[in-house]
Amino acid sequence: MEKISVKVCLGTTCFVMGSANLQELMEIVPAKYGDKVDVCGVPCLGLCSVDWEFSKAPYVKVDDEIIKDATTEKVLSAIDAKLEKK
């Protein structure tokens, strides 16, 4: 089974708007899902620069799905939904 990839944007905008708090995912995700999910912090995904989209930061990508206003809870439920489909 292919692994799910979770990319937490740690660009300046996302970091200031809240991805600083999402760094806990780096511990929570491996503990909860083992090797089924890869999680990492990545440099700016470029999603905030479009017009005024900074206000929807922080962004997280779960595979190809973009999560706006990301919170730990939102990311975990997106992972759960993907795992269910597989």
Partner 1 sequence: MAMNTPKQTSHLKREILVRLIKAYLSDNFEENTRKIPYDMRPKGSEVPFRCCIHKERAILRDRVIAGLGLSIEDADDSELLSDLAKKSLERTEPEENPLTVLHTACQGCVPSRIYVTDLCQGCVARPCESTCKFGAIKVENGKSVIDPSKCKNCGMCAQVCPYQAIAKIIVPCENACPVGAIAKDEDGHARIDFDKCISCGKCVSSCPFGAVHKKSQIIDILKSIKEGKKLVAMLAPAIMGQLPCTPKQLKQAILSIGFSDVVEVAEGADITTRNEAAEFAERMEKGDKFMTTSCCAGYNELVEKHIPELKPFRSETKTPAYYTAEMVKKETPEAVTVFFSPCVAKRREAMQNPNIDYVLNFEELGAWFIAMNVQVSECDETAYRKESSAQARNFAVTGGVAGAVNTLLEEGQKAQPYIVDGLNKQSIRDLKKFAKNGSCELGNLIEVMACPGGCLGGSSSINSYKPALKQLTAYVNESPEIKEVVKK
Residues of this chain that bind partner 1 (CB under 8 A): 10-13, 15-18, 20-21, 23-24, 41, 43-44, 48-49, 52, 54-55, 69, 71
Compute the Cα dihedral for 51, 7, 12, 44 and give only its sign: negative
Of 4 and 59, the one with the shorter C-beta distance to partner 1 is 59
* C-alpha 43, offset from chain centre: 12
CB 63 within 8 A of CB 80: no
Of 4 and 76, the one with the shorter C-beta distance to partner 1 is 76
Output the smallest distance, CB 71 to partner 1, in A.
7
Output the smallest distance, CB 55 to partner 1, in A.
5
Output the smallest distance, CB 54 to partner 1, in A.
6
Of 11 and 79, the one with the shorter C-beta distance to partner 1 is 11
DSSP one-letter string for 15-39 = HHHTGGGGGGHHHHHHHHHGGGEEE
